[in-house]
Structure 1
Amino acid sequence: MTDMNVADWHSDLELIVDAARQAGKVALGYFRKDPEVWWKSGHSPVSAADYAANELLERLLRTARPDYGWLSEETDDDSDRLTRDTVFVVDPIDGTRAFIAGKDTWCVSVAVVHHGKPVAAALVAPAYDEEFTALPTGSAMKNGKPLAVSSSGADKIRLAASEDVIAKLPGSLKSRVHRIAHVPSLAYRLAMVADGRIDGTLVKPHSHDWDLAAADLILERAGGMLVGLDGNRLVYNLRQVSHPELCAAGNLLLPHLLEPLNLSDRG
């Protein structure tokens, strides 16, 4: 498949937004109704709602784009995706633990990834009635309005991270941090950085493509970045789909986070 122009990605964005909305409605049919739950290896829960939303997304998206590859948290991985220039990267419910607990912080995450980079992104958070979207050009959008990362400086940083991660921060950084309580959906947490509700987040190792790809593009088009602690951007649809420690923030703040983290690592 040759490189496609932005008009093609507009068409894909319309497709994935519609599919994510429909999957969100399916998931809402199970929400706060005690869906059946199973436990995957690694002690990660999956519910009947995850499987139902995944089935719908796979049917809608793969029927519409049969030449695209497929990578989803709830579908057995198939190396065929590695032969495709363009793939759907899907998490039918990001934040399953929150969903099972009846909490609102979960979303349907769908991205189109082309040559390792997200080129169309949709996050639908049905319990909040929120939709985040992005393309490779223009602003990221939330419910049809442009998004922008926080413009606050590096003196006081609203940082979403677990208590144990905060405890390990170097003192020069920890003194400037106001910790944000745990946000159970990683994709939604990154969207919160994109819309300026928080300044940044630190992500523990072993996040996956499906947690990140859609939110990555949304954050980028809102004026931020998701990177490894080495400052490098992520590449998606590789054989290995898990990632090391990551950091996300607005472009102006990001160096102020990465520098003390890297100095700490070298120490």
Structure 2
Amino acid sequence: MPVPPTSHADDLELLRTAAVAAGIIATGFFRRDVKSWNKENASPVSEADILVDRYLAATLLQARPTYGWLSEETTDNPSRLNCERVFVVDPIDGTRGFLRGEDSWTVCLAVVENGVAVAGVVYAPMRDELYEAVRGGGARLNGQPIRRRRRPGSPPVIPAAGAVHQQLQDAGLNYTRGPYYPSLAYRLVQVATGTLDAVVSRRGSQDWDIAAATVILDECGIDIADVCCGFPRFNKRDIRHGAVAALGDMSLKPLLHAALITVYGCPADEASAVSQTSTDERI
């Protein structure tokens, strides 16, 4: 399929408009009596997620009918693998927080081209914060270039799971435990602003969790990587990622990557361990 004629900047404008409209729809359900249930993986979903997803699919695919579609709330269609550009969507990232009435949930939209996120929007309607970026064109927050705030002499602020904190403490790192936001995308973009100095996530995040934030962080010069295989690539057959780290301070990279690999491991390590076990059993 040929590359669509629209520019990445055109796609970003479409994502921005759609994200704002989707945020208005979702806000209508916020802090209301919303129907919700658990999916097979025990993660929650609500009627708001579904309605926003349907709106986004109709709006975005009507505007770009040749693009593929990958969304947390839509059954996967393998035809996306044949598309050069794909919409990657999380209609409400941080549904648990949304249902609890916390205000940091986001609408996350990205366009991925040949495996690379080229345009992305992370929109937090209740905080009136719209983060956006286009590959090669910089990143903005509410229309202004994102400038990372500095805190000279202060210990780095890092939110993480308890097991990762234990690894960092055992290694003697002087840092402050950061606030936990239910939306992974929102946590990630806080590294771009300087609110957080690093963000890590366990294995198992999926394309829609990180694609939009990845292009924003990359345009801000923030290192983001799957600690098992490097810079994230998207729209593969398997959309799951290893543990992810976003770093505003590169001196933290060896320690944080090592902690994540120790706690969560990598698929290749497990495959190697299984292969070795099978070999031992045959001896």
Using structure 2 for the length normalisation, give the TM-score. Answer: 0.87
Deviation at 1:229, TM superposition (A): 2.0
The AA in structure 1 aligned to 2:99 is: I
Q: Which residue of 2 aligns with 1:175?
A: 173
What RMSD over aligned residues (CA atoms) do the two structures have, in Å? 2.2
| Counterpart in the other structure of 2:253 | 257
What pairs up with 1:1-267 in 2 under 5 angstroms? Answer: 1-2=1-2, 8-151=7-150, 156-169=155-168, 171-172=170-171, 174-230=172-228, 232-250=230-248, 253-259=249-255, 261-262=257-258
Query: In structure 2, do the counterparts of structure 1 residues 164 and 2 end up closer, same or farther at CA, with 3 Å as the change threshold?
Result: same
Relative to structure 1, the CA distance from residue 260 to residue 34 in structure 2 (aligned partners, 3 Å threshold; closer, same or farther) is closer
> Which structure: larger Rg?
2
State the AA in 2 paired with 1:129.
D
* Amino acid in the other structure paired with 2:137: G
Deviations 1:113-143 (A, max 9, x none): 0000011111111100110100112321000
What SS is found at the alignment partner of 2:41?
coil
User: Which structure 1 segments of 5+ residues have no match?
Assistant: none
2:71–2:90 contact (8 Å) kept in structure 1 = yes
Measure the CA separation in 2 of the matches of 1:107 and 1:223.
22
Is the 1:154–1:256 contact (alpha carbons within 8 Å) kept by the matching residues of 2? no
- The alignment partner of 1:206 has SS state of coil
Q: 1:264 to 1:144 in 2, by over 3 A?
A: closer
Q: Quote how far apart the aligned CAs of 1:246 are.
A: 1.2
Give the distance between the partners of 2:241 and 2:260, measured in 1 at CA. Answer: 20
Question: How far did 1:165 drift?
Answer: 1.9
Give the superposition deviation at 1:2. Answer: 4.6
The verdict on how the C-alpha distance between 1:85 and 1:260 changes in structure 2, with shifts beyond 3 A counting, is closer
The total of aligned residue pairs comes to 263
Determine which structure has the larger strand proportion and give its number.
1
Q: Distance in 2 between matches of 1:196 and 1:4?
A: 36
Q: Indicate the residue corresponding to 2:269 in structure 1.
A: none
For residues 145 and 89 of structure 2, what CA distance do their matches in structure 1 show? 24
Against the structure 1 CA distance between its residues 77 and 121, is the aligned structure 2 distance closer, same or farther, given a 3 Å change threshold?
same
Displacement of 1:58: 0.3
AA aligned to 1:257 is K
CA distance in structure 2 between the partners assigned to 1:154 and 1:257 by the alignment: 19
TM-score by length of 1: 0.91
Aligned equivalents of 2:61 and 2:112: distance in 1? Answer: 14
Given that residues 248 and 254 in structure 1 are in contact (C-alpha distance below 8 angstroms), is that contact kept between their aligned partners in structure 2?
no
Identity %: 38
Whichever residue aligns with residue 180 of structure 1, its letter is G
Stretch of structure 1 that moved more, 61-70 or 149-158: 149-158
- What is the CA–CA distance in structure 1 between the aligned matches of 2:254 and 2:235, rounded to whole Å? 25
